[in-house]
Amino acid sequence: MTQPAPDNGAILVGLMSGTSLDGISAAVVRFSEPDGRVRADVLHSTQHVYDTSARERLQRAMHDGSAREYCRLSADLGDWLGDAALAAMRGAGVTAHDVRAVASHGQTLWHEPGHSTWQIGDASRIAERTGCAVISDFRVRDMAVGGQGAPLVPIADRMLFAHPTAWRALQNIGGIGNVTLVPPGGGDDRDIVHGFDTGPGVVIIDGVTQRLFGLPFDRDAAIAGSGRILEQIVLELLELPYLREAPPKSTGRELFTPAFIDAFIARCTAAGGAPADIVATACAFTAASIGDQYMRFLTEAPADVVLSGGGARNPFLVRCIEGAFMWHGERSGRPVPAVRLFDDLFFDAEAKEAVAFALLGYLHLTGRAGNVPSATGARAPRVLGALTPVASSLTS
């Protein structure tokens, strides 16, 4: 079947609500292919921060909810996503007439690799609120062909953020951590791009901060920076079964549950840790898990590691990651990668995943696969997402 021609100058809005539950990222992106390679120009991006009530509803739904609450939450989230898209469109100075589609990831409530995944956020509500067609439900098609439905960002890492001459690792630190290893220039064969979830991102750090200090997160690492790392706890937790599993693999809050957070706090307390020590140890474990996974599973030593996500704004965590790479480098003889921030190389990292889903929407519209089978484990590449069309003038 003939694929649709690339649409040079196509504008899409990408929407992302991640496992950190801090809010909705929205980005208005113009896609073009002037030299046969996809180019993404971010026209505007915004952050729609969840209030306490919304965050608590989402957290509660991930672990305990009723059919009524799931139904109501999906409808309400559709409205919130639509509002975030409209705010980004206003910021970019574009209207529904200018936008080809809104590409919405929604919010993952459950993700069970090998079986099923569930993202809520009513696409019809987004379409009615914005007046734009909506592409959503990106993960299910990959899972239907044997994939894990995650990670889906590797296609954007390969097409948009590769190092021109060296191997690069792009490490996102949202609620969950995930890495994409990209060949120089992005390569020509998607099968040589590898990606997987490295383990916790900020889910444990934020969890213990909320429990012990009543704060949503450790702003500027003020708490972690005053604590000491309980190194024995870090070493013990590196024996988690997930960290020993070979890719392709993905994880989420289904593993790092409230019970896991409680057990982490109890373990650190029993080892003599004060509250600030527990936050510092959560940072150190997250960093150690990233270093461990690179040594175990990356097939090439990257020249640099580009950090994005909320965790990249935690200076104590960034220092711990640098230390983990140094520690492994001294023992293995492998080159120590430079640690760099996504913001310093491209654009505001808060928009990265929203841009990635805008790209997935663009690939859907142009009839091209959005999954990377070497990252998800799918049997074959597939066009991802389901289209909710905008109402026509005859039926609106």
Task: Return binding residues for ATP.
Answer: 18-25
Which among 69, 70, 77, 89 is positioned nearest to 125, based on CA atoms? 77
Q: Taking the mean position of all CA atoms in its chain, how far away is CA 126? A: 21
Distance CA 88, CA 82 (A): 10
H or E stretch at 240: none
Distance CA 246, CA 241 (A): 10
Structure letter (DSSP) for residue 93: T
Q: Specify whether the CB–CB gap between 99 and 11 falls below 8 A.
A: yes
State the pairing for strand pair 194-200/176-182.
Answer: antiparallel
Distance CA 26, CA 8 (A): 21
Distance CA 119, CA 109 (A): 6
Q: Taking the mean position of all CA atoms in its chain, how far away is CA 34? A: 28
User: What values do phi and psi take at 232, rounded to 5?
Assistant: -65, -35
Which among 175, 195, 208 is positioned nearest to 22, based on CA atoms? 175
The annotation places the binding site at 18-25
**Type of residue found at 381:** P
Distance CA 44, CA 358 (A): 13
Computed over its alpha carbons, how large is the radius of gyration of the chain?
A: 20
Extract the tokens encoding 356. Answer: 């990635």
Extract the tokens encoding 345. Answer: 């190389």
Distance CA 129, CA 109 (A): 23
* Local structure of 181: helix, strand or coil: strand
| Alpha-carbon distances of 371 from 88, 146, 159, 303, 381, rounded to whole Å | 26, 12, 12, 25, 6
For the CA atoms of 349, 351, 357, 359, what is the dihedral angle to 10 degrees?
-80
Extract the tokens encoding 217. Answer: 């997160």
* Local structure of 117: helix, strand or coil: strand
